[in-house]
Structure 1
Amino acid sequence: MAGKIYVVGLGPGSEMEMTCEAQEALRRAEVIVGYHTYLRLIPGYLKGKEVFGSGMRQEIVRCRRALELAASGRTVAVVSSGDPGVYGMAGLVLELIAQQGPEVEVEVVAGVPALSFCAARLGAPLMHDFAVISLSDLLTPWELILRRIEAAAAADFVIVIYNPRSSKRQRHLLEAREQILRHRSPQTPVGLVRAAGRPAEEVSICTLEGLEPEQVDMQTTLIVGNSQTFVWKGRMITPRGYRLPS
């Protein structure tokens, strides 16, 4: 009899930010599959479990192993940071089943996505329409990413940027900033949250013009305000449009 796969969102990083549903799915699992870095965030849930971990760019390997285990009747948890349906593992698990099988039960367990957690740390920057764009070009051509940034900037969306900079992508953030500056004031607020929900967490706000790429790495999430976003007492606020009493 086929088993089951839980695709579990761990949230930003600590157990406090995990949902009760995510914690219960990890308890039910016989096997936990994930990226080594994410597995290190949940040591208490690995005790007494079979664990299959792998490194960066091994997502397909992990998902196939999870499917093999579930097909043999095991209950498996595939873990993602944040929410598994936001740049996470849920889509890949379902794609592989749709294309290749086997027919196993899959339950996607939502987690707190980085954009929500980071927005809370910064104040209320996502109170109006926003777009989320990853600057990683491993799976998406850079020219397409730039077109999406251009479209979001021109439409005055607040822009959440994932994967803004890595050791191999030194200029991508600079090019993205220049694209946004074509449509935004240099004084547009930009929020930076690094290592969200972890011991080394850092939160800061700068301007679009003053954004220094050296401040940013792969653990950083950026939130670029729209034309109405302002900073008050260290908090980013994007007005929803309410008519406030005078």
Structure 2
Amino acid sequence: MSNGKIYVVGIGPGKKENMTFRAYEAMENSDIIVGYKTYVDLVKEYYPGKEMKSSAMTKEVDRCTEVLELARQGKTVSLISSGDAGVYGMAGIMLEIADEDMEVEVIPGITATNAAAAIAGAPIMHDYATISLSDLLTDWELIKKRLELAAQGDFVVSIYNPKSRGRVTQIEEAREIMMKYKPKSTPVAIVRNAGREDERYVLTTLDEMLNHEIDMLTIVLIGNSNTFVKNGKIITPRGYEGKYDY
């Protein structure tokens, strides 16, 4: 039997209006959609009658193995991730384990940082770093080093996976590292469920950020030395004001 095809699809935040045309069409043209249960639940209403397979968190390798076997049987399969599949998603694993003759196409999506930034205003108009605080696959000492260097370099920092039930001190340590190089008044956006139901956000400061709800559904955007708030929106200027009159 000839091989099928694998799409590794970034579905964006989850709502249809935040999906790319390519992402929607890839899933439409697939025989089966496979993903983490939460992500499958986000898209299943748009594909009634489509075969879906879901599994729990930490089963990423098992999902990729299952997708590969389905494709070997001649199926066209969409393996989905929230945001962009190449940003803390499934693209890397799938490409690592795929057969040499298996066609794998990665479909980009709107990242959690992009979605959160648009809600908060324009906080990532200049150089920024995305750093996950999850130490499940990355040593915490290395994560702290990355936080240190990003703060020292005056990057805007987008923090993924900031806090979970079993991991509560990392966001406190991250804030301490940021405060070594950034003023206490640095604007911070805390965005929860960006682009999904129950979306909400709060604008605060580095000094006050831990007084607000932060969990695994949250993106924390920490500004740089030039970031400011205007009309309830965070702005990180690119530098136009120094060259043009407006």
TM-score by length of 2: 0.96
1:92-107 equivalences under 5 Å are: 92-97=93-98, 101=99, 103-107=101-105
Q: Which residue of 1 aligns with 2:24?
A: 23
- Kindly report structure 1 stretches of 4+ aligned residues shifted beyond 3 Å: none
2-side partners of 1:65 and 1:96: how far apart? 11
**Matched residue count:** 243
Q: Which residue of 2 aligns with 1:34?
A: 35
1-side partners of 2:55 and 2:211: how far apart? 29
The secondary structure found in structure 2 opposite 1:191 is strand
2:159 to 138, 141, 161: 161
Q: Which residue of 2 aligns with 1:222?
A: 220
Aligned partner letter, 1:217 = D
Q: Which residue of 1 aligns with 2:202?
A: 204
RMSD of equivalent CA atoms: 1.2
The secondary structure found in structure 2 opposite 1:79 is strand
The secondary structure found in structure 2 opposite 1:76 is strand
2-side partners of 1:213 and 1:67: how far apart? 45
Q: What stretches of structure 2 of length at least 5 have no aligned partner?
A: none
Q: What stretches of structure 1 of length at least 5 have no aligned partner?
A: none
1:82 and 1:112 in contact (8 A); partners too? yes
1-side partners of 2:183 and 2:100: how far apart? 52
1:27 and 1:45 in contact (8 A); partners too? no
Aligned partner letter, 1:19 = T
Q: Which residue of 1 aligns with 2:148?
A: 150
Q: Per-residue CA shift, 1:35-88, capped at 9, x if unaligned?
A: 000011012344333222100100001000000000111100000001101111
1:165 and 1:216 in contact (8 A); partners too? yes
CA shift at 1:118, angstroms? 0.9
2-side partners of 1:230 and 1:145: how far apart? 27
1-side partners of 2:218 and 2:211: how far apart? 11
1-side partners of 2:219 and 2:177: how far apart? 18
2-side partners of 1:64 and 1:105: how far apart? 15
Q: Which residue of 2 aligns with 1:140?
A: 138
1-side partners of 2:125 and 2:146: how far apart? 21
Query: Does residue 177 in structure 1 map to residue 175 in structure 2?
Result: yes
CA shift at 1:95, angstroms? 1.0
1-side partners of 2:114 and 2:173: how far apart? 25
Aligned partner letter, 1:207 = T
Q: 41-50 vs 6-15, which deviates more?
A: 41-50
1-side partners of 2:178 and 2:45: how far apart? 43
Q: Percent identity?
A: 50
2-side partners of 1:103 and 1:200: how far apart? 43
Q: Which residue of 2 aligns with 1:76?
A: 77
CA shift at 1:214, angstroms? 5.1
Aligned partner letter, 2:138 = T
